[in-house]
């Protein structure tokens, strides 16, 4: 190994599958393909330039479409990453991931890994076999970001399509387009010029971001999401309780209103101490709720509010502490 190679920062890549590792029978078919077909070595082989940026080591954590990823996988991944960083084995972490639930994994890692080192979650919208596949450049940039000192103390980040985004705020907004990850109110943290990141602001973390310690959590409770609409009844909420959910998030309309049947059922549950969190299905803005009627999720969307609630329940938080996770004083 040359002197230069020895000086490169160490970046650990955990591969989980997704379209970035997807293969299609035809290089012009971006719709019918098998996510999670190509292994970590195949991903690295597609972008040999990566070895000029960092001393990379890869690990195949999973190889699936991201709709198959479960919260137990997230718990395990978070602990593995914490271990890598605590033991000084990596200066930064990259997780390759399907884009469908990428924001959930990114958010989970943001809330649970205690570090100032960069954790970058990367995916692709076109399979690896496609003409103009976006995966190789995304992976190169994600690795460059994980290796970059300027990327520290910004929380976990999402990297696709040249944009650096906060894992806390960003969400998938388009089922097909390359430019799908957005935080329309909060914007991007920065962008890439070739393999060089450019940040708009100096390092900061989202206001009031809760932090959870996974080292003592061995299991996450069931928390369901129930979608409200004009005719929403209470039966799906009740079905969640019956199947053992320890909390429910309602994807409510506007700033936190559910249908009358759901509101009433949620109120009854809230009075027994069962946590019901109201988020907004609008995609932006605050969901609010008087504490005696439930918990407003603030700026956190339903799929992310579910993660906060699972972690808060697993940490034995009381209702006041749960509420503070969403609405810090």
Q: Mark the segment that binds ligand ASP (CB under 6 A) among 94-102, 149-157, 213-221, 306-314.
A: 94-102
The Cα–Cα gap between 75 and 98 comes to: 17
Residues 6+ apart with CB under 8 A from 230: 259
Q: Which two tokens stand for residue 251?
A: 């994807």
Which secondary structure element, helix H or strand E, spans residue 305, and what is its range? helix 302-314
**Distance between alpha carbon 272 and the CA centroid of its chain, in Å?**
31
Residues 6+ apart with CB under 8 A from 206: 155, 166, 168, 169, 186
Q: Does 125 bind ligand ASP (CB under 6 A)?
A: yes
Q: Does 310 bind ligand ASP (CB under 6 A)?
A: no
Q: Does 110 bind ligand ASP (CB under 6 A)?
A: no
Binder to ligand ASP among 18, 118, 190, 247 (CB under 6 A)?
18
Q: Does 98 bind ligand ASP (CB under 6 A)?
A: yes
Name the residue nearer to ligand ASP (CB basis): 66 or 228: 66
What is the smallest separation between the CB atom of 69 and ligand ASP, expressed in angstroms? Answer: 8
Q: Does 171 bind ligand ASP (CB under 6 A)?
A: no
Alpha helices in 40-196 (DSSP H): 40-45, 50-53, 71-86, 102-112, 135-146
329 burial class (0-12, 13-18, 19+ CB within 10 angstroms)?
Answer: exposed
Name the residue nearer to ligand ASP (CB basis): 65 or 155: 65
DSSP 257: B
Within residues 19-58, the interface with ligand ASP by CB under 6 A covers 19, 35
Q: Does 123 bind ligand ASP (CB under 6 A)?
A: yes
Binder to ligand ASP among 11, 56, 100, 317 (CB under 6 A)?
100
Q: Is 120 helix (H, G, I), strand (E, B) or coil?
A: strand
Name the residue nearer to ligand ASP (CB basis): 32 or 216: 32
Nearest residue to ligand ASP, by Cβ distance, number only: 98
Q: Which two tokens stand for residue 160?
A: 């696709």
Residues with a catalytic annotation lie at: 19
Q: Mark the segment that binds ligand ASP (CB under 6 A) among 98-106, 272-280, 296-304, 313-321.
A: 98-106
What is the smallest separation between the CB atom of 264 and ligand ASP, expressed in angstroms? Answer: 36
Q: Does 96 bind ligand ASP (CB under 6 A)?
A: no
What is the smallest separation between the CB atom of 172 and ligand ASP, expressed in angstroms? Answer: 9
Alpha helices in 199-301 (DSSP H): 235-242, 260-271
Q: Which of 294, 243, 245 is nearest to 272 (CA)?
A: 294
Name the residue nearer to ligand ASP (CB basis): 35 or 311: 35
Task: Report the interface residues with ligand ASP, using CB under 6 A.
Answer: 18-19, 35, 65-66, 98-100, 123, 125
């Amino acid at each position: 190994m040359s002197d230069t190679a020895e000086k490169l920062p160490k970046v650990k890549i955990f591969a989980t599958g997704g379209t970035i590792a997807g293969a299609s029978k035809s290089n012009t078919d971006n719709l019918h393909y098998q996510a999670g077909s190509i292994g970590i070595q195949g991903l690295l082989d597609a972008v040999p330039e990566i070895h000029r940026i960092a001393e990379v080591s890869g690990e195949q954590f999973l190889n699936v479409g991201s709709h198959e990823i479960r919260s137990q996988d997230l718990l395990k991944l978070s602990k593995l990453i914490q271990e890598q960083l605590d033991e000084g084995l990596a200066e930064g972490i990259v997780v390759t991931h399907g884009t469908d639930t990428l924001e959930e994994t990114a958010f989970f890692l943001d809330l649970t890994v205690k570090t100032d080192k960069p954790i970058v979650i990367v995916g692709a919208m076109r399979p690896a076999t496609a003409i103009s596949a976006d995966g190789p450049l995304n992976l190169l940039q994600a690795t460059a970001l994980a290796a970059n000192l300027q990327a520290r103390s910004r929380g976990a980040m999402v990297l696709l399509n040249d944009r650096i985004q906060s894992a806390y705020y960003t969400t998938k907004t388009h089922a097909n387009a390359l430019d799908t990850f957005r935080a329309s109110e909060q914007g991007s943290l920065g962008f890439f010029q070739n393999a060089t990141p450019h940040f708009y602001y100096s390092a900061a973390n989202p206001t009031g971001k809760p932090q959870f310690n996974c080292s003592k959590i061995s299991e996450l409770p069931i928390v369901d999401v129930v979608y409200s609409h004009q005719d929403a009844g209470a039966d799906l909420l009740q079905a969640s309780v019956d199947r053992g959910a320890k909390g429910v998030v309602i994807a409510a309309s506007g700033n936190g209103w559910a249908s009358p049947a759901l509101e009433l059922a949620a109120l009854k549950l809230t009075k027994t101490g069962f946590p019901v969190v109201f988020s907004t299905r609008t995609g932006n803005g605050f969901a609010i709720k008087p504490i005696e009627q439930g918990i407003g999720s603030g700026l956190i969307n339903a799929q992310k509010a579910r993660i906060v609630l699972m972690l808060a329940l697993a940490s034995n938080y009381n209702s006041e502490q749960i509420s503070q996770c969403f609405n810090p004083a």
